[in-house]
Structure 1
């Protein structure tokens, strides 16, 4: 789907579908969402450039993602999407800055794009004044969105941390299935935190590369009044990278703590079975001795032999347990 944003005399005109070449060149922003071949051809013919394919957008080399062709800049990065739905993913988005027009090619919709489109309809003059301004304002919206996501992830991690240590300090005699369900919930929360943090870090890395490239090309690609936004975005991205690294380190610490709690529980279970097996070894030995079929075994002829054997087996089982308790192993 192609959506064209054209600002003329302070009024915004938003149109869907393929437009004539002159109308496309007059647009300040052309948003291509899962474009068809006809839409790609219309843009390529209007601006005399070759749009990258979806496969080319997935390449990870910097030279394939950030380059200049004649007067057009091609900037590609991976962006986090699906945070609100809980189905996190990363999608490659290409920004093509050609003269007075910005083109975006994407195959998913991060919420930052939806939010920016709504804001642009309300205040078109402030956000759609120039193609480079649209691009930088889009980056600004992405950074704001990532900051909100990282704040929410940080809150989720704090709740997971409190839950994990509450389980560790809680009653060890709590039902095993309830305790296991609580620990499983904490692990799932930490797994989600790790996934979102890694994808957010990937987005921030891509933005860092784009801003560095644009900063080097700003003399010809960015208007003078918009160049200050690059410094602000670089500073904001750097702070978010540091915060994402902090969250990642904290998530790894909490994961180790939860796995430690699980190991302690498992060790307790193994210790119980070990004590039980050790306690049953002496009675087994007594039963094995008196289960032999030798002809001369005087104890078998005693009238109180059977009760004596039972008492001996009980005592041989109880004594190790008492010993273990005195040692503090139980």
Structure 2
């Protein structure tokens, strides 16, 4: 789908579909979402530039993601999407910036793009120039990433509180198992979202570094201060994402540690029971042998004495373990 955003006399004009050459050239922002060959060809012919293909956008080397083509700057980065629905992933998005137009090429819709498009309809001043549109769009993406990191940080706080509350208390086994499973799922999602958010932050940092090096060509003087602000914001978000990742690792280690403690206690109980039952089993085995001459078989109190001996040999190991502090 091809969508153009054109500002004339302070009024935003939004149009969908293939348009004539002059209309495409007047557009400040051209958004290509899963473009067809016809749409790609129309933009390329109108602006006299090459639009990256989907295969080219998936290349990971810097020379394929950040380069200059004539008077146009082509930048590509992987962006997190779907964090609200839980079916999140990463998708490459390309920005083609010229002196008159900004072209974005994407095959998914991160929420930041939808929000930014709605903001542009309310405030066309965001699209005063192609470089301003690109920087404001990156600002929206950064704000969205900050919201996502705040949310997963809150989710991790709840998982942490539930985990350590169960460790201090004595909840029912079923509830403890459910809480443990929920905490592990939450930490898994936190780790996945954090890693994809860090990938997005890294890609944006590379784009801004590239734009800074080429700012004399593509970035107007009044917008160059925005780059510095974005760089500071990206640096702080990267540090926060690393903090969340380290915290998730710590909580995962804590969960596994508590699980090991519980398993050790269960195994210790089985071990004590096994050791305590060994002497009675030995006594019962002796008296279960079918020898003809066994004097105790003729005693009147032989049976109760054998039972008493088995109980005593079972209790003595338990008493000894408790005295040593092993239980």
Residue 303 of structure 1: how far off its partner (Å): 3.0
Q: How does 1:47-196 map to 2 (within 5 A)?
A: 47-124=47-124, 126-171=125-170, 174-196=171-193
Once the two structures are superposed, residues 189-238 of structure 1 have per-residue CA deviations (whole angstroms, 9 ceiling, x without a partner) of: 11111111111111100000000011000000111111111111001100
Q: Which blocks of at least 5 consecutive residues in structure 2 are unaligned?
A: none
Aligned with residue 289 of structure 1, among 272, 277, 286:
286
Q: TM-score by structure 1 length?
A: 0.96
Aligned length, in residue pairs: 327
Residue 6 of structure 1: how far off its partner (Å): 0.8
Once the two structures are superposed, residues 16-65 of structure 1 have per-residue CA deviations (whole angstroms, 9 ceiling, x without a partner) of: 00111221111110111111111111112212222222122111111111
Per mean C-alpha deviation after superposition, the further-off stretch among 85-94 and 295-304 is: 295-304
Which residue of structure 2 aligns with residue 202 of structure 1?
199
* 1:248 is the counterpart of 2:245: yes
Residue 328 of structure 1: how far off its partner (Å): 2.6
Aligned with residue 274 of structure 1, among 271, 274, 295:
271
Which residue of structure 1 aligns with residue 258 of structure 2?
261
Once the two structures are superposed, residues 108-159 of structure 1 have per-residue CA deviations (whole angstroms, 9 ceiling, x without a partner) of: 11111111101100110x2001111100000001111111111112222222
Which residue of structure 2 aligns with residue 312 of structure 1?
309
Distance, in Å, in 2 between the alignment partners of 1:321 and 1:39 is 81
Aligned with residue 236 of structure 1, among 221, 233, 237:
233
Distance, in Å, in 1 between the alignment partners of 2:2 and 2:151 is 33
Q: How does 1:318-329 map to 2 (within 5 A)?
A: 318-329=315-326
What SS does the aligned partner of 2:97 have? strand
Residue 300 of structure 1: how far off its partner (Å): 2.6
Which residue of structure 1 aligns with residue 39 of structure 2?
39
Distance, in Å, in 2 between the alignment partners of 1:281 and 1:165 is 38
Residue 180 of structure 1: how far off its partner (Å): 0.9
Distance, in Å, in 1 between the alignment partners of 2:26 and 2:281 is 93
Distance, in Å, in 2 between the alignment partners of 1:163 and 1:20 is 60
Distance, in Å, in 1 between the alignment partners of 2:13 and 2:172 is 63
Residue 103 of structure 1: how far off its partner (Å): 0.6
Which residue of structure 2 aligns with residue 213 of structure 1?
210
Distance, in Å, in 1 between the alignment partners of 2:293 and 2:59 is 86
Distance, in Å, in 1 between the alignment partners of 2:222 and 2:119 is 21
Q: Which blocks of at least 5 consecutive residues in structure 1 are unaligned?
A: none
Residue 273 of structure 1: how far off its partner (Å): 0.9
Which residue of structure 2 aligns with residue 29 of structure 1?
29
Distance, in Å, in 1 between the alignment partners of 2:210 and 2:293 is 97
Once the two structures are superposed, residues 79-122 of structure 1 have per-residue CA deviations (whole angstroms, 9 ceiling, x without a partner) of: 11112212221111100112311011111111111111011001
What SS does the aligned partner of 1:52 have? coil
- TM-align CA RMSD: 1.3
Per mean C-alpha deviation after superposition, the further-off stretch among 46-55 and 106-115 is: 46-55
